[in-house]
Amino acid sequence: MAILDGWYFEHRHVQGTEYRLEPRAGWRQLIPASLIVGTLTALYYDPLVQPVIAIGSGVMEAILSTYGLYFKNSQSYHTEIVPVEAVNWSWPDAARGAFWGTIVGLAIGGLGWGLFGNTFAFVSGICLACIFIFQGGVQHTTIEKRSLPNLGIRLSIRNGLLVAIFLGFLLGSLTGTIWGPPFGLLMGIVFFLGGAMVNGGQQAIRHGLVRLLLWQKDAIPLRLILFLDTTADRILLYKVGGGYMFMHPLLQKHFAELYHIR
């Protein structure tokens, strides 16, 4: 999904439409991606031998891929990395998540009941409802003042891990109680990774990749904070909270003109 997300952003970047947040464009991206995921899942179960299970599993996977783990939290519409510096809980949003979670949980649970039995239907429905409620209630916010450089990414990592631990433990325990500790551990790891990516991990990874690519192009040093602190010690920059500014606008203008000359 991440590969499709990146490809779609590059496609819109070439067309000059990467800044347009159009709902129709989002659905044009969502539907083909869901069809691809559903088709690959169906082929995995060999539709010629067990067509019912293959088609049912493909439909289930396609529906799941449309949830916010992909669409709501997709990065293809964001050219700016927005860190998850704080997380808050919203009961109204959790209630809306419960509404949609109940609908999707009943749909997936009913389909799973016909394919895999009552136990699968019950557990999958409960897990989906919990995910919708939890991810609906958790709200990402930013802080206005930062006291340390790179504080936003550090907080994103921390918040992502805290949310992931709770989500992985809750759903891993639920599935492990029904299908045994090994399967519960596997599901706990899956939900842990998903919760971490959605709640700050994705932003931290993108931040690291951007810095790595800029370093490879000799645009910035690898140890960027040390470099900025050194320039501040030499009175070229000065610290403002968790950021840096030029000592004088003329110095900033000078470097900007050098960049444009190149």
**Do 191 and 228 fall within a single domain?**
no
- Residue 183 confidence (pLDDT): 85
Which of 79, 105, 121 lies at the terminal end of a domain, its last residue? 79
Structure tokens at 127: 């897990």
Which of 22, 54, 79 lies at the terminal end of a domain, its last residue? 79
Looking at residue 55, the DSSP 8-state letter turns out to be H
- Residue 154 confidence (pLDDT): 93
**Do 41 and 167 fall within a single domain?**
no
**Do 182 and 92 fall within a single domain?**
yes
Distance, CA of 31 to CA of 244 (rounded, Å): 43
> How many structural domains are present in the chain?
3
Q: Cα dist. 181→128, 168, 169, 170, 174 in Å? A: 20, 13, 12, 13, 10
**Do 61 and 5 fall within a single domain?**
yes
- Residue 131 confidence (pLDDT): 83
**Do 190 and 246 fall within a single domain?**
no
**Do 64 and 109 fall within a single domain?**
no
Q: Give the predicted TM-score (pTM) of the model.
A: 0.75
**Do 100 and 163 fall within a single domain?**
yes
What are residue 138's phi and psi, to 5 degrees? -75, 120
**Do 171 and 229 fall within a single domain?**
no
pLDDT tens-digit profile, the chain (262 residues): 555 556 666 666 676 665 554 555 555 666 676 677 678 777 776 777 777 667 766 666 666 655 554 445 555 555 577 888 999 999 998 998 888 888 878 877 887 787 777 887 888 888 888 888 888 889 888 887 777 888 999 999 999 999 999 999 999 998 898 888 988 898 899 889 888 888 888 889 888 888 988 899 888 898 899 999 999 999 889 888 888 999 888 888 888 887 664 4
**Do 85 and 57 fall within a single domain?**
no
Domain encompassing residue 229: 224-261
Distance, CA of 29 to CA of 36 (rounded, Å): 11
**Do 185 and 129 fall within a single domain?**
yes
